[in-house]
Amino acid sequence: MVVEDDEDLRVAITAELNGSGLSVREAGDLAQADAELAVGGFACAVFDRMLPDGDSIGYVHRRRQEGWAVPVLFLTARDSLADRVAGFEHGGDDYLVKPFAVAEMSARVHALYRRAGGGRPSVLRHGDLEMDCARRQVHRGGKLLTLSDKEFAVLEYLLSRPDQAVGRDELIEHCWDTSTDPMSNVVDVVIRRLRVKLGEAEIIHTVRGRGYRIAAR
């Protein structure tokens, strides 16, 4: 989740994160962010400090008191020690002062994203298929597979939910950005490519009328 009222900066951040394989939701103020975050499923949130409807540290602090555990990176032009300390004290996990290099911001987000895995193993397995989420590598039968960012994201999402039917809308929500048309066939195309790359023994099963699933073993 990227919450930034400067449209040019928000677009640059989103492009960098999308290019690194993450799916991004955007908001320009706290009200929009709250509506998006209510859906759940986020692994990290990036908040500009000063937004049109308030200082985001107050919002994050309130959410923390409610038990919200999503890692947060604050972006701000406020660079005093007191401001940085306030960011951490109000629930921030990292703090980046403007101006910054988007590549550094991306590296920090990926570090928080990995941390958000919590109890989920960094390596997901299904039979002879092994996915190393930290190294972004997939092996089957000991052979390294070359997957695109979207193929990796879809496979990771399915592997983390064994024996659960996952619909196309859910996959688009978590593995694509908000500009993707939910009526398009992008999910089917990626699933088809994954099946080819994964080989003859079928791993991804179609659940008629519900989507796709990977059977628990």
What does each of the 217 residues of the chain score in pLDDT, given as a tens digit? 999 999 999 999 998 888 877 888 899 999 999 988 887 678 889 999 999 999 999 999 998 888 788 899 999 888 788 888 888 888 898 999 999 999 899 888 988 877 665 445 567 888 899 988 767 789 999 999 998 888 988 898 888 887 888 888 888 877 776 555 656 788 999 999 999 999 877 889 999 888 998 876 5
Q: Which of 116, 200, 187 is nearest to 158 (CA)?
A: 187
Structure tokens at 147: 């997957």
**29 & 68 share domain:** yes
Among 115, 144, 169, identify where a domain stops. 115
Write out the residue range of the structural domain in which residue 24 sits: 2-115
Contact 174, 164 (CB under 8 A): no
Residue with tokens 């397995």: 125
CA 93 to chain centre: 16
Same domain, 148 and 170: yes
11 shares a domain with 80: yes
138 and 205 in a single domain? The answer is yes
Residue pair 29/116 in contact (Cβ under 8 Å)? The answer is no
Tokens of 206: 């179609």
The sheet carrying 123-126 orders its strands as 123-126, 129-132, 137-140, 143-145
Q: What local confidence, expressed as pLDDT, does residue 119 receive?
A: 43
